Structure 1
Amino acid sequence: MPIIVNGSPVDLPGDPRVSLLDLLREGLHLSGTKKGCNQGACGACTVLADGDRILSCLALAVQFDGREIATIEGLSGEGGLHPLQQAFIDHDGFQCGYCTPGQICSAIGMAAEAKRGLPSHVSGDLSAERVTLTREELQERMSGNLCRCGAHNGIIDAITETVASEMAA
């Protein structure tokens, strides 16, 4: 079975040692997913696997046989940018932009986790069925994605406008 990347089937690489990140960047020329630390510490390589956020630098491509991978290039619809992409623009959620694709993919995955009621380290009620995405909660949940330019306030504002407000409704 092939991997499905942004809705299109892709053959697995011949070498089982190829990381998902290298398949995306070098094999498929999807340069939106960034190679930052290549050790899983910065989050620049975050993509969605069946809707869950993963660090593609730490994953082998063969692990995702038959699964759906979404990169930043696959988030835009026919109507234009994904709402979170537009919110990053509106709230200056980037400076150099290097971390932005990973931040956006991570935020989408984070929202799905919160909708499922998964608590974080700062969640007050671990048994609550619904997570309230306060600023502190968002900062904790996004702490695996680093921005060296210091655009964290704009990033959290963008996520608050889209993801957190959507969950409050």
Structure 2
Amino acid sequence: MYSRMMFKNSLTVVILCISSLCCDGWILHAKSLCKEMNENSAKGSNITIKYTIRNHFAEPWFEYEQNVTSEAGQPFIRFMEQAAENDINFQFSSRHSSKQGYAVEGLGKDMLAGTPGLAHWRFLKAPSTVLSLDVSRYIPKDGDHLILDFATVWDFAM
């Protein structure tokens, strides 16, 4: 019992030493820890992205765009929530899967939904880069232009 307690106290001291010395470069593996500490401190600043939703596939056709400012380091779905608060046209519904994260099911004031096997909401970084991450895993960078595009499954092959 005494050795466990001593080890626990020693570990606390080592962690404290690493956190106070790492930014001076004294410990070999502390560079990555310093990088994480510095990246996490930047999360308090705001970034602005351009967010577009568009449907050129089926009625009702639409295209809406808005600049959204939110805290850096937040997933895109947080920007979507803010956009929906600002403008009814950006309302959305989503479904969560533990493997795939959040999938957008309905979007726009009419909650246009995909047709299974035919049309879906495609997640793009402008002008045409299809993003493989879902809206809850993609972390926008300042100045990003992100698009949710109602598209056929054939458009996904492009």
TM-score bin (small chain): 0.3 to 0.5
TM-score (norm 2): 0.36
Larger radius of gyration: 2
Greater share of strand = 2
